[in-house]
Amino acid sequence: MHLSGNSPTPWGTVLGEARTAEETVTVDVDMAQVARIRTELPVLRDRVLTIEAPS
């Protein structure tokens, strides 16, 4: 069995990738890009933070 993994951005850009051997992958994160992505993601914009009781 061969396993590998990666850490993509929400748009699919791979920031780090592991090979088939066990390993720890570290990447530098651009916090300005994180802030921009958080404003662009519709799921974060459209979330409902309260639950209203039915009438």
> What is the rounded CA–CA span in Å between residue 4 and residue 34?
25
CA 27 to chain centre: 13
Say what the pLDDT of residue 54 is: 79
The predicted structure's pLDDT at residue 4: 56
Q: What is the pLDDT of residues 1-55, one digit of tens each?
A: 455 566 677 777 777 787 777 888 888 888 898 888 888 877 767 777 787 777 7
pTM tops 0.85: no
